Structures are given as structure tokens and as C-alpha cells.
Structure 1
Amino acid sequence: MASAVAGLDPLGLSQGNFLVIASLAGVFGGFVRSYSGFGFALAAVPVLCLVMPPVGAIPAVLPVELAIGLLTLPGERSRVAWTALTWLVLGTLVGTPIGVALLSRIPAEQMRIAISLVVILAVVILWRRPRLPLDMLGRPALAVAGLTSGLFNGGTAMGAPPAIIAILGSPLDPRDARATLVAFVAFSAALGTALGIATGLLNEASLGTTLAMAPGAALGGFLGIRIFARTAPESYRGHSLAILLIVSISASGSAAFVLMRSLYY
């Protein structure tokens, strides 16, 4: 493990301290993911980026996100809104290659700050329950949400928010909305993992960080599932919007910290 994560920590933390940070990232990400159905990468990457560069943190979270999806999706399959999921996936398949080509030329931290601010604004609007001008379950809205998710997916680990906002802004039953997000995030993680392998970013070092996060992710996932089971369905939308707001603020704060730190290192 020591050799796997060596060289990823620019602050010179000891191996023990690095493992503590990675475990905390796993617990936070696992809890968010299991409760809301989305957000492991959104929650874990900002924590990891406090002690390692995005090029190491982003690929490391994808196998954990995928593993959680594979474990939870069978139990959610009957509630997935398959038509909505299909249009999200089609949009993502078109947008991801474009995102990889475009966003790889833009500093990831600047993009994460910009995306986080847009997501925060969208959460505030959705919280007020406005009459949206688009049918959020209509094919155009879902395709655009999927396309935008794909564009954001390359190099930022923040590909899911447009799809999350579309589903949370729709009239889907809360349990159906959560199940659909579980399926979409699992697909996005599989696509991201494949791209990570193809580009060489998912390597021994990033897999070492993945393994360091795994126990914490299992603990956080267990807690998230238990709490969701005790939550009233009508509370899901509000709680999930709150989670999205928290992780977006966390992501923008972490990105700003990394940008500030780069001025001195």
C-alpha cells in the first residue's frame, strides 16, 4: 500500500495520516452515496484533494463508486424509471468523449469551482419548488441533462449533478427517483472506470488509494442505508438537495484550497 500511494501526497503526510484522510473520504462518500443514491465521487474527491492532486483522486474514487452501484442496483432495479434512465445514458454517451477532449484542456480545479457554483444555484432554485419551464422527464430535458453530465464527467469527477437536478426536479416518486439515480451513477462510474483504464490514469497508485478508502466506504454505506430506511419518503427530496448543496460547497472550497496552495508550492 505504501508504494501504491507514494508520490501522490504533495504535503508530505505520513502514511498513517494519509490513510486516515482516505478513510474519512470513504466514510463521507459512502454515507452520501448510500443515503441519496448518488454522490460518492462528489463527496470523496474534495476530501482527497486536500492531500493529493486531482489526477490521483479522481480515478481512485471510480472503482468504489462502481462497486457500490453493483451491490445496490439489484435491490433497486424494480423501481428504476428505465425510460428516463435511457435518455440520460444516451446523452452521457455523446457528451463524455467531448468532455474528455475539451475539459482536459481546462484546469480541473477551476472547472470544479464553476460547476459547484452552478449546482448551488440550481439547488437553491429547486428548493423553492418553482414551476419549471421544461418537463424534467421529457426526452429533451433528460437528453440535455445526460449530455451535460457527460461533458462535466471528463476530468472533474462532477458529471452527475445535471442528471441529479433533472431527476430531483421531476415528479417521480422519491423511491423511484433514488433508484434511477443509483442506476445512472453506476453506469457513469463504469464508463469513468473504463476511460481511466484506457487512459492509464487508473493505475497502481490510484488503486492503492481506492483500497485505502474501501473500509470507510463500507462503514459509511452501512450507515447511509440504515438511515434511509428510517426516513419518510417525503423527506428524501429535501435531504438529497441538502446533501447536493453540502458536497458542492465542499467541492468548491476544496478546489479553491488547491488553487491557493498551488501558488505557494
Structure 2
Amino acid sequence: MDTLVFTVFALAALIGGFVSGFSGFAMGLVVSGVWLHIITPMQTATLIAGYGLLTQGYGIYKLRHVLDLRKAWPLALGTVIGIPIGVGILAYLNPVHLRFGVGMLLLIYAIYGLARPVFAPLKIGTGADIAIGISNGMLGGLTGLGGVISTISCQWRGWPKDVQRAVFQPVLFIAFVVISLSQAAAGTLTKETLMLYAMGVPFMVAGLWSGFKLFGTIKDETFRKTVLALLLFAGLSLIVSIPPFSFR
């Protein structure tokens, strides 16, 4: 890897870490748009999962004072169930139609949320949480967006920003554990990929640290709008990634 390529790789890791530190998710959305141009898709997917363990683990540690596994476990359990289901049914769905449909739903939700006041808090039971988690995992298996639905469901409850992150970050961590184990079983953890991971760690950690510092200064409403803006970006990324004339 020459100097220019490494600089681009490291900068993406720094920004991805910052976004994750600030919002608790979306690191993969940020880095994939850059890394897919300079390293292979398999390396990109493997690094995102590996760095996801780092970013979510760091977030869980920083928010350990508000961590409540009673709130997180139903979503986590559902997510573990849903990931292989999503991967399994992917072969039977048109990926173009799927990405477009999910992208449009995220756009509508994010635009609606940004255009109106805070949603009225909802009370969601354990059974519904497991179902939400299954949907979250299925979406992750189908599109790679493994934390979107759980993040949205935490917004619906009207929890403070710290509590929201203390719930959806453990769910994301569990999702990345499942994904990483699957990748390891598939043999994607090559020596070259592990070297790339080690090279990017300092930049990812620096971004995480600075993002979390900024997170500590913002208000709940600012956090809500930040999450909605990132969901908007996620929806756009799904739609833009569709090759031209794919609907013909």
C-alpha cells in the first residue's frame, strides 16, 4: 500500500471512528464509501466487522454507568436470530428492489422525523422487542445495515441519548460478533487484512475518542437529529449504490 492510498485509508478510519464515537453507529457507512475504492469488498466487510467490535466495545465501556442489559437483551437475542434468516432469504429476493425499498423507507422516516417535533414516547414490551430485534438482524443479513432498526426503536421510546446508546450499542456489538465469527469460518481473515486492521487501529481509536468527547457536550435533541441525518445518509447510500438500469 503506497503512501497516498494509506493516507486515504487512515483518514476514512479516523472519520469513521469519529462518527461512531459521536453517534454510536454508522462507522461502516462512512468507511465503506472510501475503502471500496482502494481495497477489496471482502477486506472492507471484514474490517468493518472487526472495527465494529472495537467501536461498539468502546462505546459500551464509556456508557457502562447507564448500561441496562434488561433493556438490551431482547433486541440482541432477536438480532442473533434474524441475521442468518436475512442471509438465507437473500438468495430468493431481488437485491436491487430490496435496497431501493429499504432506502426509500429510511429516507421517508428520516425526512419525516427531521421535519416534525420529537416523537411521543412508546412503551414496547419484551415480545415486541424480540420481534424488532429479528427484523433488525434480518435487515443486517440482507443489506449489511445491522443496527438501523434497533437504533430507530430506541428513538421511539424517548430515552435520553446516553440510555439509547447504552441499549443499541450492545445490540450492534452482538451483531458484529456473529458477523465476525461467520467471516472467520468462511476464511476471510487473511494476513493482509489483519495487517490493514492493525494499521488503522490508531486512527479509528483517535476518531472514537474525539467523537465521544463531542457527544458528551450535545443535547438530546441534537443527538436525535444527528441519528436521523445518518439514517437519511444510509437510505441515500442504498439507493445510490444501485447500478444504472437495474430495474429493466
Residue by residue over 1:153-208, the C-alpha shift from the partner in whole angstroms, topping out at 9 and shown as x without a partner, is 22632111111111112221221012212222222112211111112233334334
Q: Over aligned residue pairs, what C-alpha RMSD do you find?
A: 2.8
Name the counterpart of 2:168.
Answer: 181
Aligned residues of 1:122 and 1:165 also touching (Cα < 8 A): no
Aligned length: 244
| C-alpha distance 95-183 of structure 1, shift in aligned 2 (>3 A) | same
Task: Please say if 1:30 is aligned against 2:22.
Answer: no
Aligned residues of 1:135 and 1:170 also touching (Cα < 8 A): yes
Name the counterpart of 1:242.
Answer: 229
Aligned residues of 1:112 and 1:158 also touching (Cα < 8 A): no
Residues 127-138 of structure 1 correspond to what in structure 2 (within 5 A)? 127=114, 128-129=116-117, 135=122, 137-138=124-125
Query: What letter matches 2:213 in structure 1?
Result: R
| C-alpha distance 131-74 of structure 1, shift in aligned 2 (>3 A) | closer
Structure 2 unaligned regions, length at least 5: none
| C-alpha distance 221-166 of structure 1, shift in aligned 2 (>3 A) | same
Aligned residues of 2:146 and 2:172 also touching (Cα < 8 A): no
Equivalent of 1:219 in 206, 223, 227: 206
SS in 2 for 1:67: helix
Structure 1 unaligned regions, length at least 5: 3-14, 261-265
Aligned residues of 1:136 and 1:167 also touching (Cα < 8 A): no
Name the counterpart of 2:180.
Answer: 193
Q: What is the TM-score with the length of structure 2 in the denominator?
A: 0.83
Task: Please say if 1:149 is aligned against 2:136.
Answer: yes
User: Hey, what's the Cα distance between the residues in 2 that align with 1:212 and 1:123?
Assistant: 35
User: Hey, what's the Cα distance between the residues in 2 that align with 1:84 and 1:17?
Assistant: 45
> Aligned residues: percent identity?
21
Of residues 40-49 and 221-230 in structure 1, the stretch that sits farther from structure 2 once superposed is 40-49
| C-alpha distance 215-149 of structure 1, shift in aligned 2 (>3 A) | same
| C-alpha distance 211-165 of structure 1, shift in aligned 2 (>3 A) | same
Query: What letter matches 2:55 in structure 1?
Result: I
